[in-house]
Structure 1
Amino acid sequence: IALGGISCSDVCESTAGITDALRLPFISYECASSEILSDSDVYPAFTRMGTALLLAPSAIVHMSSWAGWDHITVASEPSTDGLQYRERIRALLEEGGLTTSATSSSASEFENMKTMM
């Protein structure tokens, strides 16, 4: 028996905090924006089935040199979690020498999302 399928990072963190005490493995395909969930000492029963998104900025910085990118616009949903995560990503990109800007729109506003892209 295992727990799986949760994707919101806040819910993943709170759930992962109790699954070890319950001796219940926790497997998630999401929770990519949570840095702390990568710490297997803190969350030994949690397994992420994908890559933590905080690894993406270093890959983007590396790709930017051969792609000729000097500016990246980071799009996010307007939730508190989404905006905080967006700012962490921007800071990491800027540390890598890129300039950034930000925009946001909710997933339900499809036309706005298309315009941003």
Structure 2
Amino acid sequence: MTITMFGISNCDTIKKAKKYLQDNNHDFTFHDYRQDGLSAELLSQFVAELGWEQVLNKRGTTYRALSDEQKQNLNSNSAQQYMLDAPAMIKRPILQYQGKYYVGFKAAQYDEIFA
């Protein structure tokens, strides 16, 4: 079954997740938003499966750079537009496996996914 990891290659969490997959002999494809792009359709899939609040990374510097007004008026449409404009605002990694999407990385979470 195909595993696809979405993210940005210089992200520390992405590096940990890639190492986990390699160490556990899971073949995967890596989709880098900066090199491979991010379509509105792909982002819509993430949001439909996970919810925009789960997909939006509120802990990163890109999100914190938004104005207070932008943050207060966030909704699915505005959040998706911000994420399209700045994919660093998407939580990382997003993993696609067996038709489902998973967000974030913790070894225990991946142990469950691939059990």
TM-score of Structure 1 vs Structure 2, range by shorter chain: under 0.3
Q: Which structure: larger Rg?
A: 1
TM norm structure 1: 0.25
TM norm structure 2: 0.25
Structure of higher RCO (CA pairs closer than 8 Å, 6+ residues apart)? 2
